[in-house]
Amino acid sequence: MKVCIAEKPSVARDIAEILGARQRKDGYYEGNDYQVTWTFGHFCTLKEPHDYYDQWKYWRLEDLPMIPSGFGIKLIENAGVKKQFNIIQTLLNQCEEVINCGDAGQEGELIQRWVLLKAQCKAPVKRLWISSLTEEAIKEGFKKLKPAADYDNLYAAGSARAIGDWLLGMNATRLFTKKFAKEKTVLSIGRVQTPTLAMIVQRQKEINAFVMEEYWELKTIYRETEFTATIDRLTNEEKAVKGVDYLKQHLFEITSFEKKEGKEGNPRLFDLTGLQVEANKKFGYSAEDTLKYVQNLYEKKLVTYPRVDTTYLSEDLHSRIEGIMRSMVHYTTLTAPVLSKPIPKLKAVFDDKKITDHHAIIPTEIPPNGLSVPEEKRVYDLIARRFIAVFYPECKVSNTTVLGIVGQIGFKATGKQILELGWKEIYQHDQQKDENEEAEKVMPVFEVGEKGPHEPRVHKGKTSPPKPYTEATLLRAMETAGKQVEDESVRELLKDNGIGRPSTRANIIETLFKRKYIEKKKKNLFATQTGMDLIDTIPNELLKSAELTGVWESKLRQIEKGAYDAALFKQELIQMVIDLTQEIKYSHNKIISIAENKPATKKPFVEKQEEKTFKPKLSLDTMNCPKCNNFALKKGNMAYGCADFGNCGFKIPFELFGKKLTEKQLIDLISKKKTGKIKGLKMDAEAAEQEARITMNNNFQFEITQ
């Protein structure tokens, strides 16, 4: 019997139907030598601090940092989860093969692997990897099942991400809460959450510090075209009035007339972030809601896998585009021009080098008949129109620049005229216009040297503060690690260093709302006083820097590709947590008490209930080499040594000067460069025993000292 494990009951039902496992049992389907069961999202989670040590249930500075010698997982405390897990475990213990049918992404891989690990699965495992849930895609996927080992790096990256978030989140949250918080306020710190909040706080500070200034500009109308003076803005009205008086004394003269034809490139296909940005701009949908709507469309087989970060399609999909277009019966007017000739294999659309496990979000061959949820209809329409638009011709425009002069003062006017709509025809009747779309401005033809009367005037304006983030602009900032990038091709290059993943960014933003660190006014996001105080309290730039967090994210992506060691990433984070803890615990920085706007928490931390202190031992497995400080220590047969021993050369034997050292003595020797006094030490076999300390000198050699 083969056991298939899907991530949701609805997906399991579809798979069971296709496989012929149509007999419904308690918690699974059976038939045709298959049993198809399911999880419903995360069944397992990393163990909590108190699962390692009872004393870690209390929030105390003296217990930090909390670094388990090894990380374990446990079932989520939920009766339904426990019941379904027991069913899965029973099926796994009796089967000959397992087929992992979880969502084809890092989170889906982690969910299923943890279930298999918790169930102590011994059967061989294969992986179903598909980009849509259509019958054709599922059948094709089962013909091409992959060995589970092909996705070991994906699992390693997901595991490293979870452990990294645990290490920083658990330790930093307790550290800052106990050091800086007032009363029972919890200061939540996260690897992605905190730099995201820091970006919003920084923008808030820029807005708060902004001082509005008035300015005056000279403008004039010549041949029904408005020109603006090219001189610097004037800082007082008196100068502006004098300027107008001067302009009235001279005719307007054209000095340059330039008209250039250009093109506006087609938009790219949607990745998840792009879709969330567009839905927020056009409909005001939150990132979390957009993810929910597109996930529902995916499960209804109407669109391909949504949790993606690429805007390209694989080259082998080119042959399927015509079929998808022909199935889009609700868009026949728009698809007709594309289908009237062979569909081009555009490099901006099809590129195997720009995709990994999935391609951009596109419609499937199944039309959205009977789609009743208005929000899902709108999101589907965004995806469908974008899919059609990429295959339309480019939009051709004419850009006009006119320069003139009045006396000694230069003037300029610009205009843009659309010559051929091209892909913009797809959006001609779109009721929701892009807020950045410029109005078409047709200008008359001017001749260089022509002169004539004009109508000068003064325009009074005010400087504007920086714009607050919206969810759309915040998602883009997260994608590019805080860099302001408009060019889509440049943005594509920065994705590897973005903070968070497309599938988790929405949850990060929602967490900031739940913690009451940010709030929304209309579409705009603002930091609350609590959020600003929290960021001001954090002295360590690592926790706040979007760019540095982007570097960690890049390493996680490299782990996924097999180009970086997950154990090394974990060790780097452990060292960062150790350093951060020492810095904050013993700092003399001014304490900022944060009590207002108390964040809502489901489980407030447990206050200290007993006086006795407990500090778990440091583990040699979590310590860095004291010589190079770059690599962890590894246990050998006779000694602990640097993981990079070939280059570094450091080792510390289990036995020194005739005595086998305890773990505490070894740790003291590495961390303090000396042990406590030890009886029975001998310089050599013939020497007398003595009571002394073992020390490590500056050359990392070991000596006996008093």
Residues assigned a catalytic role: 305
**CA nearest 552: which of 291, 272, 161, 209?**
161
**Residue 652 is which amino acid?**
I
User: Mapping DSSP to helix (H, G, I), strand (E, B) and coil, where does residue 18 land?
Assistant: helix
Q: Give the tokens for residue 188.
A: 């939540």
Is the C-alpha dihedral spanning 580, 584, 586, 589 positive or negative?
A: positive
CB 449 within 8 A of CB 470: no
User: Mapping DSSP to helix (H, G, I), strand (E, B) and coil, where does residue 261 land?
Assistant: strand
**φ and ψ of 632, to 5 deg:** -75, 165
The CA distance from 542 to 550, in Å, is 11
The CA distance from 544 to 565, in Å, is 25
The CA distance from 83 to 235, in Å, is 73
Q: Give the tokens for residue 438.
A: 């410029």
Report the b/e string of 359-376 with b at 16+ CB within 10 A. Answer: bbbbbbbbebeebeeeeb
Region class of 408: left (phi > 0), else alpha (psi between -120 and 50), else beta: alpha
Report the b/e string of 291-318 with b at 16+ CB within 10 A. Answer: bbbbbbbbebbbbbbbbbbbbbbbeebe
CB 678 within 8 A of CB 665: yes
DSSP codes of every residue in 314-372: -GGGHHHHHHHHHH-GGGHHHHHHHHTSPPP--TTTB-GGG-SS---B-B-SS--TT--
**Residue 364 is which amino acid?**
T
The CA distance from 68 to 618, in Å, is 9
CB 389 within 8 A of CB 423: yes
Element (H, E) at 82: helix 79-94
The CA distance from 607 to 609, in Å, is 6
517-521-522-526 Cα dihedral, nearest 10 degrees: -50
Is the C-alpha dihedral spanning 552, 556, 561, 567 positive or negative?
A: positive
CB neighbours of 279 closer than 8 A, spacing ≥ 6? 285, 289, 290, 293, 378, 379, 382
CB 361 within 8 A of CB 334: no
